[in-house]
Amino acid sequence: MVVRKRLDYGSRGHQVPAMPRVPSSARGKRSARRKKDEMSPFDLLATVAGTLLVDHENSSNAPSINAAALTYARKRKSVKAEQCDDVPPLKSMAVENCIAGSGGVCASPRQANICLAENSSTRNGTDPVLESLTVKPDMLVRDSVFSCTKSCNRAHGVGGIPECGSSRSLEATNQVQVQQPMDGDTTALYSLVSSVDLDGRPPALVSSDSSSGVPLCIHDKDRTTSPLCHAEVRHAADRDDDENSSGCTHPCTTGNNKSYMPQYTGDSRIRKMFASKIRKAARNKMCGEMSNKGSKLNLCGKKISTTRQRVQRAMFKRQKPVRRHFTPSSAKGILTEVKLRIKSFTIPELFIEIPENATVGSLKRTVMDVVTSIIESGLRVGVLLQGKSIQDDNKTLRQARICHGENLENIDFTLECEAGQNSSPGVRIPEEMDFHGADAMKPLAMVKCEEPLSETKAGYNSQQRVQASPNRVQSEHGSVHSRFEATAHEASASSQAIVPVASPSSEALAIVPVCKSKRPVIGQRRIRRPFSLPEVEALVEAVEQLGTGRWRDVKMLAFDNTDHRTYVDLKDKWKTLVHTASISPQQRRGEPVPQGLLDRVLAAQAYWSQQQQQQISGKASGQACSSSC
DNA sequence: GTTAGGG
DNA sequence: CCCTAAC
């Protein structure tokens, strides 16, 4: 039943999560639980997989692949396990590298950006998406070879594993050479890779997965071997899983998980940052997409029931996006697992103001927050085939020949932040940063460094300093760019240069990614833009004419051409003006407002309040009268 | 979409 | 400035 259900689940019946998802808490503890839970499903799956393979006409190679996949999965876990003994040191190293390599992506230039996003505390290596993507088939193959060799010798002869040139596999570099076990099997390999890498599923299941997924695309040469391999592999996997998981797998995945998607995990810091509904919405949206993708992936069918669920889970999420693009092939009835690579991941340049007393930790957090917010604003995926961007989203993968192994290596993906996509290189000044009217001419001082910062002030000031400009490369890392002003008052401190924000507490450091796009990034707090004297005058005058309670009209009358002042802003400003006028001059802060103006504020406030009272009373009396009458 | 008011 | 309730 279980198996069947799973089969039904996947369009091809290939992908079913072999194991019911265990509560996260439980998942964490793998070894004990795993053996018990996984064994039976595993057997079932293996059996089914074997059947499928046999039935499949074109799946001659599948078996070896499957076996390889299983082995791989196992190996990843158990690189250090006993099995490794058989494997030459180099190989084992290679494997580890590979494994780590998945995480090792960060090492590459491309991932630098991503790494940036990662939580510093966690181990750098692994971008979820990248990681999954990075894993190369070769690795799988290799591993599979080893394991297969060991467990089933037949696989060797059959599978084109031999080609894998084990020697090569050693590639000292994290880059794993892609070795195709057999020609034409690339697809299979890819499928294996993906299946293996995919969400954290137990290795055991992998076999079933691969078998299910691979057959169509792969040309299996020896069906017979498959069953055997499966069985053996499986066992090996079982054996090794526990140990392995703790060993190799762990480091990579764990690190990845933690580091990579903090935003989704509910990092308190981030939550704080995105306190508003909009922000939450944005995050939910992202998560929702992710989950959707995840489900989709599941449909695609990868079930690796290993002990590493925990670890892989994260990977799964990451991979989803990419894999998702390949689902079309499955629509045709063929599931093809492919290895994907992220050619580039562009994150807008970050401009962050750093308080002098900032700590490394605060800087990291700041960067994390910024990157998180940027990423949450959305990512765009681009597909490159042989370096050429594929613009036609409606083109089927088959049309693009993406589902065939020969072209898989030519496919790359790019990730771009939606927020930055429209922005042009260079400094972008958000709409909010635009200066309208007289204010624009004022010298802008980023921060009044000379001025002692009250808590509030510090907070505000610190908030405005981050600017992100996509695609822009800049050498001044960590420097603060004063693109906009914080206070109208004096430009003395530094009207332009990079001025560190003197904030009393590094904690006050807040970042606001700035996007040039007119539409502010969702969830981003607007920069503080104190009302200038002319603005205050205009406001007072308008209110004197229209009264309080007609803020929309006030806006249209006095600030119609000022986009960054909403009627809510005007209302708030009036509120503060009234308050300011009602307190002693010594208690007032900020740019002083002429007493004359404040007097007018009070007068207008009194007048219109009275008017409102009268209206209310009149209304009430009218109602009373009417009711009484 | 506005307004009002608390944070 | 943000957020929300209430219109």
- pLDDT (tens digit, 9 = 90+) per residue, A133-142? 333 333 333 3
Residue A342 corresponds to which tokens in the numbers above?
Answer: 């992220």
Is there contact between A528 and strand B, defined as CB under 7 Å from any strand atom? no
Q: What would the mean pLDDT of A322-334 be, rounded to a whole number?
A: 36
Gap from A438 CA to C5 C1', Å: 36
Q: A534-566 pLDDT, tens per residue?
A: 999 999 999 999 999 999 999 999 999 988 999
The b-or-e profile of A440-461 (16+ CB within 10 A means b, else e) is eebebbbbbbebebeeebbbbb
* pLDDT value at A172 more than 50: no
> What phi and psi, each to the nearest 5 degrees, are found at residue A428?
-110, 135
Can you give the pLDDT at residue A599? Answer: 93
Q: What is the pLDDT of residue A531?
A: 93
Q: Which residue is nearest to nucleotide B6 (CA to C1')?
A: A572
End-to-end CA distance of chain A: 78
Distance A584 CA to C7 C1' (A): 36
Query: In 3D, which of A108, A176, A98, A119 has the Cα closest to residue A345?
Result: A108
| pLDDT value of position A387 | 67
Q: Is the Cβ atom of A550 within 7 Å of strand B at any atom?
A: yes
The nt closest to A550 (CA vs C1′) is B3
Percent of chain A with pLDDT over 90: 11
Average pLDDT (A321-340) is 43
- Per-residue confidence (pLDDT) for residue A401, from 0 to 100: 63
CA–CA separation, A271 and A369 (whole Å): 10
A381 compared with A260, residue with greater pLDDT: A381
Q: For residue A598, give the H/E element and its range.
A: helix A595-628
Q: What is the pLDDT of residues A255-312, one digit of tens each?
A: 333 333 333 333 333 333 444 444 444 444 443 333 333 333 232 333 333 333 333 3
pLDDT at A602 over 80: yes
Number of alpha carbons in the 13 Å side-chain half-sphere of residue A379: 26
Encoded tokens for A322: 């990419």
Asked if strand C contacts A552 at the CB level, meaning under 7 A, the answer is no
User: CA quadruple A8, A393, A414, A342: dihedral positive or negative?
Assistant: positive
Could you say which residues 255-284 of protein chain A have a Cβ atom less than 7 A away from any atom in strand C? 275-279
Residues 6+ apart with CB under 8 A from A602: A578, A581, A582
In this structure, is the CB of residue A548 within 7 Å of any atom belonging to strand B? yes
Average pLDDT, chain A: 47
- pLDDT bracket for residue A591 (50, 70, 90): confident
Which bases of strand B have any atom within 7 Å of the beta carbon of a protein residue?
1-7
* Burial grade of A608 (CB within 10 A; 0-12, 13-18, 19 or more): middle
Among residues A511, A505, A435, which one has the least CA distance to residue A273? A511
- What percentage of chain A carries pLDDT values higher than 70? 15
CA distances from A547 to A532, A537, A542, A543 (A): 21, 14, 8, 5
| pLDDT confidence of residue A547 | 93
Q: Does the CB of A555 sit below 7 A from strand C?
A: no
Q: Which nucleotide is nearest to A576 (CA to C1')?
A: C1
Please tell me which residue, A403 or A574, carries the higher pLDDT value: A574
Strand B–CB A567 distance below 7 A: yes
**A535 CB and strand C closer than 7 A:** no
Return the DSSP state at A517: S
Q: Is the CB of A620 under 7 A from strand C?
A: no
Q: Looking at residues A452-477, what average pLDDT do you find?
A: 32
Residue A570 CA distance to nucleotide B5 C1' (Å)? 14
What confidence tens digit (pLDDT) does each residue in A69-90 have? 333 333 333 333 333 333 333 3
For strand B, is any atom closer than 7 Å to the CB of A341? no
| A552 CA to B1 C1' distance (Å) | 10
Asked whether residue A488 carries a pLDDT value surpassing 80, the answer given is: no
Query: Nearest nucleotide, C1' to the C-alpha of A556?
Result: B2
Q: Which residue is the nearest neighbor of B3, CA to C1'?
A: A549
Q: Return d(Cα A261, Cα A276) in angstroms, integer.
A: 20
Structure tokens at A34: 């795993």
pLDDT at position A168 over 50: no
More confident residue, A583 or A95: A583
- Report residue A124's pLDDT band, with 50, 70 and 90 as the boundaries: very low
The answer to whether A576 CB is within 7 Å of strand C is yes
Of the listed ranges A365-374, A402-411, A507-516, the least confidently predicted one is: A507-516
pLDDT of residue A587: 87
Q: Does A228 or A591 have the greater pLDDT score?
A: A591
CA distances from A419 to A353, A402, A470, A534 (A): 20, 29, 8, 33
Top-level CATH class of A533-617?
mainly alpha
Statement: the CB of A549 is under 7 Å from strand B: yes
Q: Which residues pair with A379 in a beta bridge?
A: A417
For A580, residues 6+ apart whose C-beta sits below 8 A from its C-beta are A588, A593, A598, A601
CA A98 → C1' C2, Å?
48
Domain definitions of chain A by residue range: 41-297+309-340, 347-381+421-530, 533-617
Closest nucleotide to A575 by C1' from CA? B5
> What does the pLDDT read at residue A74?
37
